Structure 1
Amino acid sequence: MSTLNRQIHLVSRPQGEPSTANFALVEAPVEALADGEVLVRNHYLSLDPYMRGRMNESKSYAQPQPLNEVMIGGTVGEVVESRNEHFKVGDKVVGMGGWQEYQRVNASQRGVLQKVDTTHIPLSAYLGAVGMPGVTAWYGLTQIIAPKAGETVVVSAASGAVGGAVGQLAKARGCRVVGLAGGPAKCEAVVNELGFDACIDYKAHPDLRSLSKALKDACPDGVDGYFENVGGMILDAVMLRANAFSRIAFCGMIAGYNGEPIPMANPALILVNRMKLEGFIVSEHMQLWPEALKELGTMVATGKFKYRETVAQGLESAPEAFLGLLKGKNFGKQLVKLV
């Protein structure tokens, strides 16, 4: 009797804001393994903002998510069957298993499955602090913003998995760190738990003038580096406070994920302040992942890196949890627990 695998498929392209109707729960038997393959029981599924862009058919840095196939996504789990000499039953692994309970993988392909050590680092952390979000934060901060001790770094979506990591990595480098987050509870945690120097509740500042004044108060010496996850009015407000030779790392522009226009109010400031603006995709810089993961793993294992997880229960909860992520309902890394 074969194992039954439950999967979430993308069955339609969203027109504007996505909904649960774009997804479907599908059941399929797990086929017998061929030589070189392993079967992984996924324990956690990662939900990330980049998935929204993949749902569209329009041109982007990656191919669109195909319809009527398993939705893309990072996973951590345990090998439950193996016909590959490099993996044994019980190995804990990280990969791109997608929104499904089981993943059948040709583990002979280099890089598709990585063994991880859970002695000092929890398995779920390999999807967040010691995974793609952590490396994203590390790359944007160290390679683009490249802050010096004493400089001021601002981070939008500061309570998210990436934003929280940026702030702590910047603090470790001697910076003043100011976050932006939605709501007083998130802002309080960003300061008290994650160690930021200040956090601005953008929901309390509905216009550019108000938000700019809040940034001026929180950044009396101006802004030297900005890690961008949002775009829109928040970017405009930061640019008004940016110092000469400031650097902006563009990681995400969630303000425009549903097709909304996100014009820049004062592009002339780029020239006036001789600013460096650079977008990046972390998967294009694999050569730096080992260095990033070493620092992140050490910080997590020694308790110097704090992180939160928002965990939805069961595969069927993934679509709703994903829609909540896009609206900022999560705090820290959004996961789906499958086991």
Structure 2
Amino acid sequence: MKLISHLLAQNEQHIQRLIQSRHPILSAAAAHLFQAGGKRIRPTFVLLISQAIGTIHQSQQRLAEITEMIHTASLLHDDVVDEASKRRGIDTVNTRFSNRIAVLAGDFLFAQSSWYLANLNHLQVVKFISKLISDLAEGEIRQTSTQFYTQFELAAYIEKSFYKTASLLACSGKATCMLADSVPETMGQSMYLFGQHLGLAFQIMDDVLDITGEISQMGKAIGADFITGNLTAPLLFALTQQKGLVTLLERECCYTQDANQVRQFVLATYAIEQAKDLAFEHVQAAIACLASLTPSEAKDALFDLAMNTISRQR
């Protein structure tokens, strides 16, 4: 994004310096996923909000880096839990190194992000962002504890998705406002809700692409969610239309052909369209939260960020 591309480049360089450790293996593991690239949605989100509400402060730039470190740490742990072999088209850290190294690298990034968070010298922001780290763990626990549970409801899926994905955007949106000069509390709440709805839309579309995407675009195995029993929005919608799905999921996709059959069942229903509609509802809710911002290039970019969520291919 041209508007903040120079700041994102600075963030990349600073993060690379931040993750240096005295142990070369730990440093290599922590750097591996960063070097694979990524969409950098979270730092982009923080920097655009910073610019939309005023001048970008150094503390807000640090917050952009911290959110990306927290996100990457959670990915390292998620890949271990999910036994994932690919992430962004390259071997996951647990595949290239080991589960133990991947977990330690994730812990290292969480610790580093907490240290730099404390250095912001803003107690309320420290409390707010620290809480979302526990939210990430809560989301992962909820997902793991409901694997292949065919009675899982859409409301529970939305709540789990908030903890697992949307909480980071919601909390960082509000924290960005807290670090600004003379920004009313109502603005912070608006940016919290903007992040919440944007995060939910992003997660729902991620779950859609897990079924409809191409491996070359996604950089990971297609169908990974239902292979591991993660019941996503498309699957939940399809369960109401294809009763045969219940049998496949309750036997935990134990046969080789089960995963492909689940995918075909979902594609034969209106589940993908229903999930996309749900994502669009959250995008519309997110855009409504931008009404409190004064017109600017940054506001337009936030609008585009929300709209691109439902048109992305990876």
Smaller-chain TM-score range? under 0.3
Q: Which structure has the greater CA radius of gyration?
A: 1
Question: Which of the two has greater strand per residue?
Answer: 1
